[in-house]
Chain A
Amino acid sequence: MNKTFISDSKGYYGQYGGAYIPEMLRENVESLRAVYYDIIESEEFKKEFSMLLTDYAGRPSPLFFAGRLSNKYGAKIYLKREDLNHTGSHKINNTIGQILLAKKMGKKRIIAETGAGQHGAATATVCALMGMECVVYMGELDMARQEPNVKRMEMLGASVVPATCGNKTLKDATNEALRDWICNPENTFYIIGSVVGPHPYPDLVTKFQSVISEELLSQLMAKEGTEDPDYIIACVGGGSNAAGIFYKYIDRKKVKLIGVEAAGKGVETDETAATITVGETGIIHGSKTLLMQNEDGQITEPYSISAGLDYPGVGPLHAWLAGTGRASYLNATDNEALDAAYELTRLEGIIPALESAHALAALGKLKLKPADIVVVNISGRGDKDMQAYANANR
């Protein structure tokens, strides 16, 4: 029932995935691929990973019954509180896992890309914990719109390097991180923040994030007498929090899996980041997946108010889940996300990250029945987004 690895040995989910990397990255990626499975499946690793998730990150994250939100939407709505983790989002699950892997592989220097700064902060955090050098690439535009996270990373001892090409957002930061890795093949481990990139990253990150659905099984059993909700809803940029909360449920076909992408100003406009809705198959950052591109195969610039969802690709797992129909992918505009963030804040006293607000915005788009059990993944907290929320002035 609980499949642990769902891609094949070359990292394909159906037609999506693989490792489309230049030869300059091959030894880096291949040396990781060769050892990752045995390391993360070893008892020693599992023990250390689990200890840090509990004692350092503060897991398990609570499953909270949101009573007033439930009344509003006429269903039983639970929130999986990833926002309560150390560093304020689900990203810490993955960075703990990857830094332990980096240590086992004898690497001394860590690089990462970040959009909203949540993954960058989570990486800088574990680097401080382990005493490792940390360089985070972040789009110049994102550095401006998520400034508190830049300050956090710097306080944690990381160097934050602006990506100044393209739209100066997450895609460009990822390009710069890949270039850094090409230039530093011997001592550097690249901690990718989402279920994107060449194999084995999508698999690796999914595995580390799967702790979310692992916990949900027993938490829901304790509260509702069943492991299976009717709906699981999560936002999708690259798709790591969604991959984590979907994972253990992929084979439980009666649980409806709903991913919510950022529509930006609307999927009918050019200012959107809803990759699954508007994208087509191609190669981005080493992975065959759906991506936003023009007729010439040039990757187009995405747009979303949410820096964490502002990415023109999506993890190959999600491209596959969308293609097979196992998961459905909706989208929410900037305004719908802002409304949903204010709604949760006023009804439950929880300020969600702008990313997570997109997941909440899907509640109004589903035909819910009173007996339906709905779990929404609150992937992060909204402190970093106070400027955008204040500007929205609801």
Chain B
Amino acid sequence: MNRINNLFKKKNGKILSVYFTAGYPDLDDTLTIIRELDRSGVDMVEIGMPFSDPVADGPVIQRSSEIALKNGMNINLLFNQLAKIREVTDMPLILMGYINPVFRYGMENFLEKCNETGIDGTIIPDLPPDVYMESYEPLYVKHDIINVFLVTPQSSVERIKYLDQISKGFIYVVSTAKTTGGINSFNQSHTDYFRKLDNLKLKSPRLVGFGISDRTTYNQVCEYSDGAIIGSAFIRSLEGTGSLPENINRFIQTIR
């Protein structure tokens, strides 16, 4: 069974998934970050493949991506860094990034390499679900990789049900109409939206992302979902004064 499905099946409590940009702060921090996230009790990790033009991202991830690229990160190098990752952790691992570098790498090669490395899923925001269904679903199935779809506050119920139906893992609930890291608290309209999704009784579990930065926002979204995804706030924490492991552990402890 894919590790993503396994996690949602076995976990009793809420799930915490953390995003970081590979190649940031330093080119070779990838394994250290994953290891420390595992140690600090995180359930799942999204490894960001940096892109030159991240249109869905706010300033924090724009900057980490820019630095990661300057440091020399690319998909090939990332797979090399991750070659022995399954000796390090059993957590589900997801590669997240934009479609152009993946197309350039070659979708078939990419998914084959994901499988070989022990990657469980992908999140590619600008790969539209209809293109995925038309062209890539069989390849994903063949290599046992799960593609994660996003829903937003603007998504119609019909659209949400469609995405739920084609989803094989979990649904990424974008909390708000913002780029990543764009807000730091939730109001009534956010919770109404989270509740609406909860009441739809979808078959897929839901993780909420965008704007979860601390214990309060984490607990808020967990009330209406299966857990949360933290990205920008985590990346900001890496700039703390301690060592990389210290900064990571300190941050995760402030969440749960």
> Footprint of B on A, CB under 8 Å?
18-24, 26-28, 165-166, 171, 175, 178-179, 182-186, 282-286, 291, 293, 295-300
Contacts of A28 in B (CB 8 A): 154
- Cβ–Cβ contact A175 & B152, under 8 A: no
**Known contacts A183-B182, A185-B154, then 16 further A-B pairs from the complex at CB < 8 Å, ordered by chain A residue:** A22-B55, A24-B125, A179-B58, A183-B179, A282-B100, A282-B103, A283-B100, A284-B53, A285-B53, A291-B100, A295-B104, A296-B105, A297-B102, A298-B74, A299-B53, A299-B100
- Cβ–Cβ contact A23 & B155, under 8 A: yes
Contact of B174 among A21, A23, A282, A297 (CB under 8 A): A23
Number of interface residues of B (CB under 8 A): 39
Q: List 9 A-B contacts (CB under 8 A).
A: A24-B152, A26-B128, A26-B152, A27-B154, A27-B156, A179-B55, A183-B178, A185-B154, A297-B103
- Cβ–Cβ contact B100 & A182, under 8 A: no
Interface positions of B from 211 to 246, Cβ below 8 Å from A: none
- Cβ–Cβ contact A171 & B53, under 8 A: yes
Interface positions of B from 57 to 89, Cβ below 8 Å from A: 58, 62, 66, 69, 74-76
Contacts of B127 in A (CB 8 A): 20
A297, B178: Cα distance in complex, Å: 26
- Cβ–Cβ contact B149 & A296, under 8 A: no
- Cβ–Cβ contact B152 & A23, under 8 A: yes
- Cβ–Cβ contact A20 & B53, under 8 A: no
Residue B177 at the chain A interface, CB threshold 8 Å: yes
Contacts of B76 in A (CB 8 A): 296
Residue B19 at the chain A interface, CB threshold 8 Å: no
- Cβ–Cβ contact B56 & A24, under 8 A: yes
A286, B98: Cα distance in complex, Å: 11
Residue of A nearest to B102 (CB): A297
- Cβ–Cβ contact A20 & B128, under 8 A: yes
A183, B62: Cα distance in complex, Å: 16
Contacts of B66 in A (CB 8 A): 165
A185, B51: Cα distance in complex, Å: 24
Interface positions of B from 151 to 168, Cβ below 8 Å from A: 151-152, 154-156, 159
Residue B1 at the chain A interface, CB threshold 8 Å: no
Residue B184 at the chain A interface, CB threshold 8 Å: no
Nearest-neighbour CB distance to chain A for B230, whole angstroms, equals 18
- Among A23, A28, A175, A178, the most chain B Cβ lie within 10 Å of the Cβ of A23
- Cβ–Cβ contact B126 & A297, under 8 A: no
A282, B105: Cα distance in complex, Å: 11
Contacts of A26 in B (CB 8 A): 128, 152, 154-155, 159
Residue of A nearest to B59 (CB): A165
Nearest-neighbour CB distance to chain B for A200, whole angstroms, equals 14
Contact of B125 among A23, A171, A282, A293 (CB under 8 A): A23
Nearest-neighbour CB distance to chain B for A305, whole angstroms, equals 23
Contacts of A185 in B (CB 8 A): 154, 177
Residue B150 at the chain A interface, CB threshold 8 Å: yes
A283, B126: Cα distance in complex, Å: 9
A307, B166: Cα distance in complex, Å: 43
Please judge, given known A-B contacts A23-B151, A165-B62, A284-B53, whether A18 and B177 are in contact too, CB under 8 Å. Answer: no
Nearest-neighbour CB distance to chain B for A130, whole angstroms, equals 25
Residue of B nearest to A288 (CB): B103
- Cβ–Cβ contact A21 & B126, under 8 A: yes
Residue B99 at the chain A interface, CB threshold 8 Å: yes
Cβ contacts B159-203/A at 8 Å (1 or 0 each): 100000000000000100111001000000000000000000000
Nearest-neighbour CB distance to chain A for B143, whole angstroms, equals 20
Residue B253 at the chain A interface, CB threshold 8 Å: no
